[in-house]
């Protein structure tokens, strides 16, 4: 039953159905997961990215998270992060914000998430990183002044939002002139044109776009054994967790593998 409901939720996202109900439902899912799985073995909640070619450097303690860190490494690669004020919108358990804070020398990283339980957990799991903080808030109504940040990061979170143009407009508002917005998320192939329209906000210029689906599938493959071990502990939630985690055989895994779902990475720059 839970697997079927999760599949219906994904299909509803593609159709744009019931956006505010969807937003509320995702918040409930993440609150629930943060209450039941509080350990630092699960610091990331993305599907991952395995790059082609030379691997990016990581300390030995972070190697188990390489597949998941990969989405953040590609997101900030080549951007002027050193000394910058960075905002991650949809920061989840905080692993990605922690990676940026520890490896790229920003002045500060602020993680924002809609789920209060998840924010509390992120603060606990990442208390060892001094230039990193977390706040609870709505991506469509960011609680920050105009021109507050140099770089905004949004990884695998926007599919939960009710109003994409409002979110992108808020990103444009809180970025400084010349600031960067780096985005990565998935949509059904038929929904890509709508995503283009939703993200076409005045003041943000599209600089680059890549279909990274094959590298995301490679990450799902690389992390599958570890995910299966955790899913095996979920008892009555096994089928739901298999779909949620994108395990092999799940609806999402099949969609990405077949090209029915596109995982896109984009960069925008604010005019000025």
Mean pLDDT, range 230-241, rounded to an integer: 62
Given this model, what pLDDT does residue 249 score?
A: 79
Mean pLDDT, range 219-225, rounded to an integer: 88
Find the CATH number of the domain harbouring 239: 3.40.50.150
Return d(Cα 55, Cα 39) in angstroms, integer: 27
Contacts of 104 (CB under 8 A, 6+ apart): 76, 81, 82
Mean pLDDT, range 238-251, rounded to an integer: 71
Q: pTM for this structure?
A: 0.85
Is residue 31's pLDDT more than 50?
no
In this prediction, residue 10 has a pLDDT band, given cuts at 50, 70 and 90, of low
Is residue 223's pLDDT more than 80?
yes
Given this model, what pLDDT does residue 194 score?
A: 96
Q: pLDDT: is 70 or 228 the higher one?
A: 70
Is residue 2's pLDDT more than 50?
no
Q: pLDDT: is 89 or 5 the higher one?
A: 89
Residues spanned by the domain of 136: 2-270
Looking at the structure of the chain, the number of domains it has is 1
Going by C-alpha positions, the residue among 53, 6, 39 that lies closest to residue 25 is: 6
Is residue 81's pLDDT more than 80?
yes
Going by C-alpha positions, the residue among 97, 99, 88, 107 that lies closest to residue 61 is: 99
Given this model, what pLDDT does residue 225 score?
A: 78
pLDDT in tens, 103-135: 999 999 999 999 899 999 999 999 999 999 999
- DSSP assignment of the chain equals -HHHHHHHHHHHHHHT-SHHHHHHHHHHHHHHHHHH--STT----S-----SSSPPP--GGGGGGHHHHHHHHHHHTTS--TT-EEEEES-TTSHHHHHHHHHS--SEEEEEES-HHHHHHHHHHTTT-TTEEEEE-BTTB-SS-TT-EEEEEEES-GGG-S-HHHHHHHHHHHEEEEEEEEEEEEEEGGGHHHHHHHH--TTEEEEEEEE-HHHHHHHHHHHHHHHHHHHTT-GGGHHHHHHHTT-TTSHHHHHHHHTSEEEEEEEEEE--
Is residue 12's pLDDT more than 90?
no
- The token pair at 90 is 């949809």
In this prediction, residue 250 has a pLDDT band, given cuts at 50, 70 and 90, of confident
Backbone dihedral angles phi then psi of residue 265, each to the nearest 5 degrees: -120, 125
Strand partners, 136: 113
Mean pLDDT, range 178-186, rounded to an integer: 97
Is residue 235's pLDDT more than 70?
no
In this prediction, residue 54 has a pLDDT band, given cuts at 50, 70 and 90, of confident
- Contact assessment for residue 143 and residue 137, using Cβ atoms and an 8 Å cutoff: yes
Is residue 15's pLDDT more than 50?
yes
């Amino acid at each position: 039953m839970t697997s079927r409901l999760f599949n219906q939720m994904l299909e509803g996202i593609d159709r744009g159905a019931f956006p505010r109900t969807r937003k509320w439902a995702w918040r409930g899912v993440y609150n629930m997961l943060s209450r039941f799985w509080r350990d630092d073995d699960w610091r990331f909640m993305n599907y991952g990215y395995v790059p082609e070619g030379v691997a990016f450097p990581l300390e030995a303690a972070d190697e188990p998270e390489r597949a998941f860190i990969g989405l953040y490494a590609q997101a900030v690669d080549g951007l002027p992060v050193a000394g910058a004020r960075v905002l991650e919108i949809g920061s989840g358990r905080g692993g990605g914000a922690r990676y940026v804070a520890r490896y790229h020398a920003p002045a500060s990283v602020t993680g924002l998430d809609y789920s209060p339980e998840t924010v509390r957990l992120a603060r606990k799991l990442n208390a060892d990183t001094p230039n990193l903080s977390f706040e609870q808030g709505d991506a469509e109504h960011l609680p920050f002044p105009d021109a507050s940040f140099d770089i905004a990061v949004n990884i695998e979170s926007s599919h939960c939002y009710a109003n994409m143009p409002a979110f992108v407009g808020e990103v444009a508002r809180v970025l400084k002139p010349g600031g960067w917005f780096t985005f990565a998320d998935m949509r059904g192939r038929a929904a890509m044109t709508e995503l283009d329209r939703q993200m076409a906000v005045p003041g943000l210029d599209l600089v680059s776009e890549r279909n990274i689906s094959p590298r995301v599938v490679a990450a799902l493959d690389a992390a599958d054994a570890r995910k299966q071990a955790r899913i095996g502990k979920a008892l009555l939630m096994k089928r739901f967790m298999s779909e949620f985690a994108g395990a092999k055989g799940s609806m999402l895994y099949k969609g990405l593998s077949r090209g029915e779902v596109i995982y896109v990475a984009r960069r925008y720059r604010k005019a000025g």
